[in-house]
Amino acid sequence: MKKVIWALLPGLAVAACGHVSKYEEGVIDYEPTYCYAALGDGVECYREPVLSEGRRLVNYYGKHPSRYGDAPPKPQAAYGVPPRIGTWVKDPEPVVKPMVYLDTPHGEASVQGTQALVRQAHENLTTAIQKDSLRNPNSSTQAESGGAGASGPTSAGAPPFR
């Protein structure tokens, strides 16, 4: 029995390597075309298979791409695995501060202090805008007439466009 198996084994190996699927038998006489999925819903077709893009193969006519030859060699990794270390250091976790801390005697935050800080920032910004508008009085009218395709003066009660 073993002699029969060993006698048939080379023949089975050759037959397995030369297998041609039914689909390949049906399209072997067609002009060779190999189509690959592209970005979006597109498909790119070539006359010869692109062996490096075998995973994107959608369909083919002609012989199977694996019968064309060897695939290009895989590129070597640019960087190797770093050496293993025995110790590591972890940075301390950040402290979450839900409110703005002001210089109070005890160093704690208060709702009134936060509101005062926001109010002061608003007042400083308002005075800076007023000073800027006094220095350049025509800047707002130029922006209104030249910006956003406006033609002519705007209505008297309308706020400036920014």
Predicted confidence (pLDDT) at residue 149 exceeds the cutoff of 70? no
Q: What is the pTM of this model?
A: 0.36
| Nearest by Cα to 51 from 28, 73, 20 | 73
Run of H or E including 57? strand 57-61
Two tokens at 60?
């083919």
139 or 146, higher pLDDT: 139
Parallel, antiparallel or unpaired: strands 43-46 and 57-61: unpaired
Task: Indicate whether 83 pLDDT > 70.
Answer: yes
Instruction: Please state the domain extents for the chain.
Output: 21-70, 96-136
Per-residue pLDDT tens digits for 19-77: 778 888 888 888 989 999 998 889 999 998 888 888 899 998 888 887 777 766 777 87
